[in-house]
Amino acid sequence: MKKILRDFIFEELIFVTEPSQFSDDENLLEAGLDSMGIMRLIMFIEDKYSITLPDTEIEPENVQSFNALEQWILKYKKG
């Protein structure tokens, strides 16, 4: 799951020189993930995993790192 998220984020939303050096706990918001990027990311996640992430939970703590994103997705992903 994190590889899929990483590929999408670093190919579509954030430019970092060394994506492989970006840890799962590093702050994506500080790296350049903005509100428009968050909306694109959520649409990607919902389509890819056939889930709905509640708008009320679009908060920095749910999107600030790969680990946070994974936990948020797993909360709604069945099976």
- CATH code at 55? 1.10.1200.10
Give the model's confidence band at 58: pLDDT under 50 very low, under 70 low, under 90 confident, else very high. very high
Decide if 65 is inside a domain: yes
Q: What is the pLDDT of residues 29-53, one digit of tens each?
A: 999 999 999 999 999 999 999 999 9
**pLDDT higher than threshold 90 for residue 74:** yes
Decide if 15 is inside a domain: no
Decide if 54 is inside a domain: yes
List the structure tokens of 18: 């060394």
Structural domain including 38 reads 1-8+33-79
What's the pLDDT at 79? 53
What's the pLDDT at 78? 77
Averaged pLDDT for residues 7-27: 94
User: Using CA atoms, how far apart are residues 29 and 48, in angstroms rounded to an integer?
Assistant: 22
Q: How many domains does the chain have?
A: 1
Decide if 64 is inside a domain: yes
Sign of the alpha-carbon dihedral angle for 37, 40, 43, 49: negative
